[in-house]
């Protein structure tokens, strides 16, 4: 007779309106098939850490490339997992993976989820790096920088959300390539980390940019214009940087966090792009999975050499996931947002 094991899980209670709040989520019990009832081709995993990513907010509104997360469903998302039982040849018990486990303490992975999972090499230390700099955010940064930005030594390179896993990695790759790098981040703590630890040349605090607002700060810090802008936020930050583009500028459109909570898209004046003879390129990390080993090798080398720095924002316990996600969507995370179980 099939048996079940008890787990904890977090469901989406209702679609968030505007910025998400804790009451949009609920922690409750769930069940999984017991080892004895595990179907052929499936695996059971223990969740070690959840990756909280801004795109989940868009998925909760049904606006993301990935499938929508509807009220009543367990919140989807990837995590670092350890296999506890397996009836699939790809997953050995005890091995660690990044997989679509959802916001649960343990999960049953079906064959499709197992095929899409990515192994975590034991050399990756701490293993949570596979959710950050050496995972999806790192690949986003690496692919955007290496394949789309076309940055050259000496370029003035601006990156927004510069203290997060995507932005900080992009900024440091640009610094390593010899660009003059300016971050945009929210608050003095983030800006201090961006310049003093990540080693960017300057950082503009978009919450307190000084005289003339963000536009004034950009003019002061980038008097000759912006050669490359890596946009992680959209909104007014994108408009302000586009007003400051240098001739031949390249803009990588990566993220839209200023719109994820339902804000209207900003009207970008094409005249700004024409005037600068600029090139805009959209980035979707899913196009670049084949480059994961190359990215991992390159960024691991930079990490080992002390050229690349990262920061993790760790919350403890599954129950803390809603609060941690609310903090992320309010810009209060300091580095890669993780929930460690």
Q: Which residues lie near ligand NDP (CB under 6 A)? A: 53-55, 137, 140, 161, 163-167, 185-186, 190, 206, 232-233, 235, 237, 254-258, 283-285, 328, 331, 333, 337
* Strands (DSSP E) found in 13-74: 25-33, 43-51
Q: Which residues pair with 312 in a beta bridge?
A: 336
Evaluate the CA torsion angle 168, 174, 177, 182 in order and state its sign: negative
Q: Is the Cβ of residue 106 or residue 185 nearer to ligand NDP in the bound state?
A: 185
Q: Is the Cβ of residue 269 or residue 330 nearer to ligand NDP in the bound state?
A: 330
**Which residues, 6 or more positions from 317, have their beta carbon under 8 angstroms from its beta carbon?**
339, 340, 341
Q: Find the DSSP H helices in the chain.
A: 55-60, 111-116, 136-143, 165-176, 188-196, 213-221, 235-242, 257-260, 270-275, 292-304, 321-329
CA dist., res. 9 & res. 236, Å (int): 37
Which residue, judged by CB position, is nearest to ligand NDP in the bound state? 164
Least distance between ligand NDP and beta carbon 113 (Å): 19
Least distance between ligand NDP and beta carbon 203 (Å): 9
Least distance between ligand NDP and beta carbon 60 (Å): 13
Take residue 203 and report the two structure tokens written for it.
């950082």
Q: Is the Cβ of residue 12 or residue 285 nearer to ligand NDP in the bound state?
A: 285
Least distance between ligand NDP and beta carbon 137 (Å): 5
**Which residues, 6 or more positions from 187, have their beta carbon under 8 angstroms from its beta carbon?**
205, 207, 208, 331
Q: Is the Cβ of residue 167 or residue 171 nearer to ligand NDP in the bound state?
A: 167
Least distance between ligand NDP and beta carbon 93 (Å): 31
Q: Is the Cβ of residue 18 or residue 28 nearer to ligand NDP in the bound state?
A: 18
């Amino acid at each position: 007779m099939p048996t079940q094991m008890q787990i904890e899980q977090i469901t989406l209670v209702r679609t968030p309106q505007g910025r998400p709040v804790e009451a949009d989520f609920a922690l409750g019990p769930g069940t999984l098939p017991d080892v004895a009832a595990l179907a052929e081709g499936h695996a059971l995993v223990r969740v070690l850490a959840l990756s909280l990513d801004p795109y989940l907010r868009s998925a909760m509104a049904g606006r993301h490339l990935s499938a929508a997360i509807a009220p009543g469903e367990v919140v989807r998302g990837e995590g670092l997992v350890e296999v506890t039982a397996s009836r699939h040849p790809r997953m050995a018990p005890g091995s660690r993976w990044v997989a679509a486990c959802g916001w649960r303490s343990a999960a049953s992975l079906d064959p499709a989820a197992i095929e899409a999972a990515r192994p975590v090499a034991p050399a990756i230390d701490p293993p949570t790096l596979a959710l950050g700099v050496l995972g999806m955010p790192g690949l986003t940064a690496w692919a955007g920088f290496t394949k789309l930005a076309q940055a050259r030594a000496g370029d003035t390179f601006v990156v927004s959300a510069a203290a997060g896993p995507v932005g900080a990695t992009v900024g440091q790759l640009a610094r390593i390539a010899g660009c003059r790098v300016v971050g945009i981040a929210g608050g003095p703590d983030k800006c201090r980390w961006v310049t003093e630890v990540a080693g960017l040349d300057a950082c503009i605090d978009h919450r307190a940019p000084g005289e003339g607002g963000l536009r004034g700060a950009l003019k002061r810090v980038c008097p000759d214009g912006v050669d490359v802008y890596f946009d992680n936020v959209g909104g007014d930050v994108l408009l302000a940087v586009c007003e400051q583009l240098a001739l031949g500028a390249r803009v990588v459109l990566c993220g839209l966090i200023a719109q994820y909570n339902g804000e209207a898209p900003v009207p970008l004046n094409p005249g700004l792009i024409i005037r600068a003879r600029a090139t805009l390129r959209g980035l979707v990390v899913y196009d670049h999975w084949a480059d994961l080993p190359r990215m991992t090798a390159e960024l691991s080398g930079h990490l080992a050499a002390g050229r690349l720095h990262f920061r993790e924002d760790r919350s403890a316990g599954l129950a803390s996931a809603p609060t941690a996600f609310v903090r992320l969507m309010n810009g209060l995370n300091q580095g890669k947002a993780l929930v460690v179980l």
